[in-house]
């Protein structure tokens, strides 16, 4: 979308593969009621090297309480979707100045049945990085710039088993356990960027019961595009199923 001048090599590799991420994703037909949503995948150069922005949702939310995620949410009237939506949400949730973000590309839209969302990930580079702040403390508990070195460290990676039987990637970074939609998308982005390192995929851990919540009903008004409360929609295939294609070709 904008110039790639001065970007690090890993982001250039990601841009080359943006149309065909190595993402294992069940792609059911989107419902007629699916709300358009966007998340911002914001890279930057931080005090500890290259990093990525994550938020941790407030423990007081009705759903997805305490879960890590990319900043994002549903489209509002007047948004220049999906870029405007992603930047507005990042400003509201993490105090990110949209003027300091260079939007690079959008990734494939992903339908998440549990929350009836059609989510577009927006990739950005932080040209003018600032201190991150919690925007709305009722929605966000904290904001973290997580070093890519921590995300790619094999010691911080494993898989979580959901009670539904699905296995999905997980990360333990910045005192957060990242799982579900966010972890699946993050796993694919790191691989496409050429940053992924071999890790022990046989390390499978059961999901803690307090993290398993009922499905979000379509039209419930929940503004979380991640949909991590129910069975992961970004995950390894069920034990008796074959891997599904990432997305239909454009």
Higher model confidence: residue 28 or residue 64?
A: 28
Q: Is 87 left (phi over 0), alpha (psi -120 to 50) or beta?
A: alpha
Geometric angle at alpha carbon 199, from 151 and 20, rounded to 5°: 70
Structural domains in the chain, sorted by start: 9-211 (3.90.79.10)
What's the rounded Cα separation, in Å, for the pair 147 and 15? 20
Res. 21: pLDDT tops 90: no
Q: What burial letters (b/e) apply to 50-69, b meaning 16+ CB within 10 Å? A: bbbbbbbbbeebebbbebbb
Quick one: pLDDT at residue 241? 35
Average pLDDT value for the chain = 81
**H-assigned helices in 109-236:** 148-151, 180-192
| Model confidence pLDDT, tens digit, residues 33-49 | 889 999 999 999 998 99
Quick one: pLDDT at residue 58? 66
Tell me what the mean pLDDT of segment 57-84 comes to: 80
| Model confidence pLDDT, tens digit, residues 110-140 | 888 878 888 999 999 998 887 787 877 777 8
Quick one: pLDDT at residue 138? 74
In terms of Cα–Cα distance, which of 68, 69, 64 is closest to 211? Answer: 64
Res. 220: pLDDT tops 70: no
């Amino acid at each position: 979308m904008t110039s790639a001048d001065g970007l690090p090599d890993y982001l250039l590799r990601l841009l080359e593969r943006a149309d065909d991420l190595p993402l294992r994703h069940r792609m059911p037909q989107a419902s007629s009621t699916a709300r358009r949503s966007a998340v911002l995948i914001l890279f930057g150069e931080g005090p500890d090297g290259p990093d990525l922005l994550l938020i941790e949702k407030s423990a007081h939310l009705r759903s997805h309480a305490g879960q890590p995620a990319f900043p994002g949410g549903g489209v509002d009237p007047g948004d220049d979707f999906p870029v405007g939506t992603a930047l507005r949400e990042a400003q509201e949730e993490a105090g990110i100045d949209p003027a300091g973000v260079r939007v690079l590309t959008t990734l494939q839209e992903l339908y998440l049945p549990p929350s009836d969302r059609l989510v577009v990930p927006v990739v950005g580079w932080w040209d003018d990085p600032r201190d991150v702040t919690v925007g709305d403390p009722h929605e966000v508990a904290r904001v973290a710039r997580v070093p890519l070195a921590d995300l790619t460290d094999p010691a911080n990676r494993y898989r979580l088993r959901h009670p539904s039987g699905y296995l999905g990637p997980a990360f333990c970074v910045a005192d957060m356990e990242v799982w579900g939609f966010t972890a699946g998308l993050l796993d694919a982005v790191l691989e496409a960027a050429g940053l992924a390192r071999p890790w022990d995929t046989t390390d499978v851990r059961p999901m803690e019961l307090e993290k398993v919540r009922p499905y979000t009903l379509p039209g419930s008004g929940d503004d979380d595009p991640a949909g991590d409360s129910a069975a992961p929609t970004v995950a390894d295939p069920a034990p008796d199923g074959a891997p599904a294609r990432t997305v239909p070709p454009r």
